[in-house]
């Protein structure tokens, strides 16, 4: 999966979701460790102790991505170098943290892709009851994900897609990427994007039919830059 994703970006996949009529489940997270990630979601809800991660790793499959739901909290770090090292040893291909991390230098030294909302020195100062579904689902931003989902990450952030539709979305993303590359090459060669997408024709058609959208026009001229 990572090899296939290597020729794409999360932006391409987001546009593919739009074209396929799927929710675009993205969140803005920063890559603590450079690199890209692609794998099945291994969800976990953090309640203040690392034992929930260790339990999750008991069921990890090679290539899984540990997706940590810490409610987007910014008053504590919920994972650091030990969690990252254990994830790596369990065969996970990365960490996605809806919250903060710590031990940045040591995490970076491991080389495992890690995405989070930022860093903070202190770990949890609490221990809340663990819900029965703590290892079944994780809520990241407005999105709830499970092992039926795949997570993809790069420099632009994170996107979640249904595992059963990954190949379809990759195919669509390939087409979108190729269209955009050709458009970029043409711009650099002196043919403006407005000319390529026949923008003056769109303005004329919109004047006659105000309900016409730019996306509808793009579909008609096969110049999809927004999807």
Annotated binding site: 80-83, 102-103
Number of neighbouring beta carbons within 10 Å of residue 115:
26
d(CA 165, CA 17): 10
Contact 60, 92 (CB under 8 A): yes
Binding residues for Mg(2+): 103
> What value does the CA radius of gyration of the chain take, rounded to a whole number of Å?
21
Binding residues for substrate: 80-83, 102
170-176: long-range contacts at Cβ-Cβ below 8 A with a sequence spacing of 24 or more? Answer: 170/4, 170/5, 170/8, 170/13, 170/16, 172/15, 172/16, 172/19, 172/20, 173/8, 173/12, 173/13, 173/15, 173/16, 174/7, 174/8, 174/12, 176/12, 176/15, 176/16, 176/19, 176/224, 176/227
**Sheet-wide strand order for 100-101:** 77-79, 100-101, 118-119
């Amino acid at each position: 999966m990572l090899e296939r994703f290597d020729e794409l970006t999360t932006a391409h996949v987001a546009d593919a979701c739009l074209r396929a009529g799927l929710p675009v489940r993205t969140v803005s997270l920063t890559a603590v460790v450079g690199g890209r990630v692609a794998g099945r979601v291994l969800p976990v809800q953090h309640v203040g102790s690392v034992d929930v991660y260790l339990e999750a790793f008991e069921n990890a499959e090679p290539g899984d991505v540990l997706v940590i739901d810490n409610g987007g909290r910014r008053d504590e770090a919920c994972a650091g170098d030990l969690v990252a090292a254990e994830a790596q040893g369990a065969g996970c291909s990365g960490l996605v943290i809806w919250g903060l991390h710590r031990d940045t230098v040591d995490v970076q030294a491991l080389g495992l892709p890690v995405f989070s909302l930022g860093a903070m020195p202190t770990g949890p100062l609490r221990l809340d009851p663990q819900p029965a579904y703590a290892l079944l689902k994780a809520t990241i931003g407005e999105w709830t994900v499970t092992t039926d989902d795949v997570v993809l990450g790069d420099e632009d952030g994170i996107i979640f897609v249904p595992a059963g539709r990954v190949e379809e979305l990759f195919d669509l993303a390939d087409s979108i990427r190729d269209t955009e590359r050709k458009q970029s090459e043409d711009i650099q060669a002196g043919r403006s994007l407005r000319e390529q997408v026949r923008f003056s024709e769109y303005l004329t058609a919109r004047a006659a039919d105000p309900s016409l959208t730019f996306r509808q026009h793009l579909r008609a001229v096969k110049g999809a830059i927004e999807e």
